[in-house]
């Protein structure tokens, strides 16, 4: 059969261009990546052979062989795993499948800093072969199939696929080493690299030299070893392998559960946010093993979505080996393991959060928004999760706990007050906060998209309801403090304000739900608030952005009767001194309140026209 020439997916071509033209301080990691792929391939075949033993017939012992050939200047990494057929090669070695990764490469500008740490995040280990090689050949035969295939590329935008005679089961990756990479033919170098990065691989990694075999790694599953026998470096390398990640684990949890159900967990919390953490599928990533046989990294019910930042493995002998992944999903044992894992992880987080001088806040800043999903998804553990939450508030710069906020409540304060929006700086300037700041009442500043969902779902904590400062019914008068306010500017007379309100209502019609005076404003003239129970302007905007809401709902416009503008207007209206211009003024007040909320004026053209008219009158032209 003839050779078939194909172009790489654009993102792969770009990635390869970066890889080929980079300067590497530690390009030896290509070997870790290829050994890791070989190990995955063996794991997958071992699982498939549980139900189809004929797949491994004739060659049942898994191994990964490193074969340097100094004369030819080539290094081969060969495994007897699942292998790839023609379609697999085209799909796996020509495109980037993982969600998020392709997008990430796309975003990487032409002149991005080209260092390995950036590429490391891609999770596209195979292509790292081109760091050391100027040509790569993959010869493979898929388990259970007769025909072998050969994939070849020089990393220059194209690859070829053709039939290969006499291919053994599994895959053999042959690298034609670059002139300056010949060191990777040296057995001492190979020994050192395998020991360093791949010791935890559970399958023997064998150096083949002059026809002699030498196993280079410990070749037992790392999690089965005792904690005291594992160095931090080994944990880290295992994390890199299991998570396809390259950062330092923020936390490593390794334990054996004994009792009603036995399992071993080796779990990691990354220090960097995985690029797809907010992907809508919200999949968990911990791999499930049954008695050291890899089963799947797709069991959704192993961990709840709000712990999807966890990486690592769970291994249990108490699960049946020979049932399908689908049936496993509903296994009652699995539910027990899940309960145990959640309990353990939350208590480890609690321990970290209580630690003096700990770096819990680093975790919170990275994954807090994910953990908070548990507040409305895991009813039973709500209190526990709430205790792990950290907040920004109007009381200071750093993070604080809900308990601390509770302790600082003012006399007569019977609620947790919050305001939700896109960023802290903008929130701090919200007019609705003015009255709270004047009274020294602490307000939670919530900026994660999940925040408004959990506050609504939880409702209250320690008998104190959560209330948005943007809610119409919030009453500040019962709270002690705020003497400053009495000394302020007196309010406009009530009858004048009533006339103004009536006139504004008439002018705005359906555009507002109501017009009222405000007790929550000090410096600003107007603000928008919601009816109690109505969703906030911020939440409504988020839902509209996600097309879950079609239209806007009218709000309550509050007027500050102490503000000079409102006072002057009120006096003018009362004395009948306004004509048609009250119409312009009313709309401008509403638009002003909208702009402060981060909303555009309802009708920008009309806004500009009115603004010009009012300014013209103001200039007395
Ligand atoms: P990842 O390992 O993160 O999936 P890689 O770029 O390392 O990404 O590998 C891409 C894919 O190529 C793998 O997911 C696998 O399907 C396939 N592959 C790579 N090496 C082998 C191998 N030795 N045997 C079988 N399949 C392989
Ligand atoms: Mg890989």
> Sheet of 263-270: strands edge to edge?
249-257, 263-270, 311-316, 287-290, 293-296
**Count of Cβ atoms closer than 10 Å to residue 343 Cβ:** 13
Ligand 1 centroid–CA 129 distance in Å is: 12
Residue nearest to atom 25 of ligand 1 (CA): 83
Ligand 1 centroid–CA 225 distance in Å is: 27
Ligand 1 centroid–CA 149 distance in Å is: 15
Model confidence pLDDT, tens digit, residues 352-376: 999 987 799 999 999 999 999 999 9
Ligand 2 centroid–CA 329 distance in Å is: 26
Query: Could you give the C-alpha distances from 110 to 17, 96, 106, 487, in angstroms and in order?
Result: 10, 19, 10, 61
Ligand 1 centroid–CA 126 distance in Å is: 6
pLDDT at 96: 79
**Residue of 31, 36, 37, 243 best suited for mutating to test ligand 1, as the one with most atoms within 8 Å of CB:** 37
Residue nearest to atom 2 of ligand 1 (CA): 37
Three-state secondary-structure class, residue 41: helix
pLDDT at 104: 67
Model confidence pLDDT, tens digit, residues 64-99: 999 999 999 999 999 999 999 999 999 999 887 665
Q: Give yes or no for residue 484 having a pLDDT over 80.
A: no
Return the C-alpha torsion angle 382, 387, 389, 390, nearest 10: 150
Ligand nearest to the CA of 245: 1
Q: Give yes or no for residue 32 having a pLDDT over 70.
A: yes
Secondary structure (H, E, C), 46-113: HHHHHHCHHHHCCCCCCCEEEEEECCCCEEEEEECCCCCCHHHHHHHCCCCCCCCHHHHHHHCCCCCC
Q: Which is higher by pLDDT, 106 or 437?
A: 437
Ligand nearest to the CA of 136: 1
Residue nearest to atom 9 of ligand 1 (CA): 126
Residue nearest to atom 14 of ligand 1 (CA): 92
Model confidence pLDDT, tens digit, residues 248-279: 999 999 999 998 899 999 999 999 998 889 98
**Residue of 40, 78, 169, 311 best suited for mutating to test ligand 1, as the one with most atoms within 8 Å of CB:** 40
Residue nearest to atom 19 of ligand 1 (CA): 37
pLDDT at 488: 67
Q: Going along 154-219, which residue ranges are E strands?
A: 158-164, 170-177, 205-209, 212-215
Cβ 538 vs Cβ 456: under 8 Å: no
Ligand 1 centroid–CA 41 distance in Å is: 8
Residue nearest to atom 16 of ligand 1 (CA): 92
Q: What whole-number distance in Å separates Cα of residue 391 and Cα of residue 419?
A: 12
Mean pLDDT of 393-422: 94
Question: Cα Rg for the chain, rounded, in angstroms?
Answer: 32
Percent of the chain topping pLDDT 70: 93
pLDDT at 543: 87
Q: Which atom of ligand 1 is nearest to the CA of 93?
A: 12
Q: Which atom of ligand 1 is nearest to the CA of 170?
A: 24
Residue 400 DSSP class: B
| Candidate ranges 134-138, 193-197, 207-211, 315-319; pick with highest mean pLDDT | 134-138
Model confidence pLDDT, tens digit, residues 161-179: 999 999 999 999 999 999 9
Nearest C-alpha neighbor of 249 from the set 221, 230, 225:
230
Q: What whole-number distance in Å separates Cα of residue 273 and Cα of residue 251?
A: 13
Ligand 1 centroid–CA 37 distance in Å is: 5
Instruction: Calculate the average pLDDT of the chain.
Output: 90
Domains of the chain and any CATH numbers: 4-219 (3.30.565.10), 223-354 (3.30.230.80), 389-483 (3.40.50.11260), 489-618 (1.20.120.790)
Ligand nearest to the CA of 38: 1
**pTM higher than 0.85:** no
Q: Where does ligand 1 bind, in terms of residues with CB under 6 Å?
A: 33, 37-38, 41, 79, 81-84, 92-93, 123-126, 171, 244
Q: Give yes or no for residue 324 having a pLDDT over 80.
A: no
Q: Which atom of ligand 1 is nearest to the CA of 88?
A: 16
Please list, in sequence order, all residues whose beta carbon lies within 8 angstroms of the beta carbon of residue 312, skipping any fewer than 6 positions away: 239, 242, 243, 253, 265, 266, 267, 268, 286, 287
Model confidence pLDDT, tens digit, residues 525-538: 999 999 887 888 88
pLDDT at 617: 85
Q: Give yes or no for residue 485 having a pLDDT over 90.
A: no
Q: How many Cα atoms are found within 13 Å in the side-chain-facing hemisphere of 575? A: 7
Q: Give yes or no for residue 233 having a pLDDT over 60.
A: yes
What is the residue-wise DSSP string for 360-394? HHHHHHHHHHHHTTHHHH-GGGHHHHHHH--BEET
Ligand nearest to the CA of 129: 1
Percent of the chain topping pLDDT 90: 67
Residue whose structure tokens are 């200071």: 396
């Amino acid at each position: 059969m003839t050779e078939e020439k194909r172009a790489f997916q654009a993102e792969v071509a770009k990635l390869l261009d970066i890889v080929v033209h980079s300067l590497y301080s530690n390009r030896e990691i290509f070997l870790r990546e290829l050994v890791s792929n070989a190990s995955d391939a063996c794991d997958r075949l071992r699982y498939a052979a549980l139900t189809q033993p004929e797949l491994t017939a004739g060659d049942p012992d898994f191994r990964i062989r490193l074969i340097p050939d100094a004369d030819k200047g080539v290094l081969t990494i060969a495994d007897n795993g699942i292998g790839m057929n023609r379609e697999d090669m085209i799909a796996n070695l020509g495109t980037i499948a993982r969600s998020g990764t392709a997008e990430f490469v796309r975003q990487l500008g032409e002149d991005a800093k080209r260092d390995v740490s950036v590429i490391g995040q891609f999770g596209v280990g195979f292509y790292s072969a081109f760091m050391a090689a100027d040509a790569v050949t993959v010869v493979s035969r898929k388990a259970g199939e007769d025909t072998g295939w050969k994939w070849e590329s020089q990393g220059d935008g194209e690859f070829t696929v053709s039939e290969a005679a006499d291919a053994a089961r599994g895959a053999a990756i042959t690298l034609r080493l670059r002139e300056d990479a010949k060191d990777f033919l040296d057995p001492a170098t190979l020994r050192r690299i395998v020991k360093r990065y791949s010791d935890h691989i559970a399958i023997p990694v064998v150096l083949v030299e002059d026809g002699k075999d030498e196993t280079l790694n410990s070749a037992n599953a790392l999690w089965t070893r005792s904690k005291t026998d594992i160095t931090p470096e080994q944990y880290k390398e295992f994390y890199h392998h299991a998570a396809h990640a390259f950062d330092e684990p923020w936390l490593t949890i390794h334990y054996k559960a004994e009792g009603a159900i036995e399992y071993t967990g080796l779990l990691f919390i990354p220090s960097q946010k995985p690029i797809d953490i907010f992907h809508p599928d919200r999949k968990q990533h911990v791999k499930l093993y049954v008695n050291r046989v890899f089963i799947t990294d797709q069991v959704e019910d192993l961990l709840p979505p709000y712990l999807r930042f966890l990486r690592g493995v769970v291994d249990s002998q108490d699960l049946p080996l020979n049932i399908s992944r689908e049936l496993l999903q509903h296994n009652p044992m699995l539910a027990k393991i899940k309960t145990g894992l959640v309990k353990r992880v939350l208590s480890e987080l609690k321990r970290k959060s209580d630690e003096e001088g700990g770096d819990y806040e680093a975790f919170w800043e990275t994954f807090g928004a994910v953990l908070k999903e548990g507040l409305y998804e895991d009813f039973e553990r709500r209190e526990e999760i709430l205790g792990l939450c950290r907040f920004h508030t109007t009381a200071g710069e750093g993070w604080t706990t809900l308990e601390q906020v509770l302790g600082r409540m003012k006399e007569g304060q019977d609620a947790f007050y919050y305001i939700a929006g896109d960023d802290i700086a903008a929130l701090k300037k919200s007019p609705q906060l003015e009255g709270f700041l004047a009274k020294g009442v602490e307000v939670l500043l919530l900026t994660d998209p999940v925040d408004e969902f959990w506050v609504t779902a939880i409702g209250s904590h320690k008998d104190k309801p959560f209330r948005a400062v943007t809610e119409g019914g919030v009453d500040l008068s019962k709270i002690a403090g705020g003497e400053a306010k009495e000394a302020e500017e007196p309010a406009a007379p009530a009858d004048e304000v009533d006339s103004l309100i009536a006139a504004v209502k008439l002018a705005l019609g359906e555009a507002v739900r109501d017009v009222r005076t405000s007790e929550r404003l000090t410096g600003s003239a107007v603000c928008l608030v919601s009816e109690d129970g109505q969703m906030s302007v911020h939440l409504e905007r988020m839902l509209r952005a996600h097309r879950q809401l079609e239209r806007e709902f009218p709000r309550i416009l509050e007027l500050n009767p102490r503000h000079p503008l409102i006072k002057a207007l009120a006096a003018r209206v009362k004395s009948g001194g306004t004509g048609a211009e009250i119409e312009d003024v009313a709309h401008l007040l509403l638009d002003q309140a909208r702009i402060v909320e981060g909303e555009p004026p309802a009708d920008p053209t009309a806004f500009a026209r009115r603004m010009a008219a009012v300014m013209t009158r103001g200039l007395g032209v």
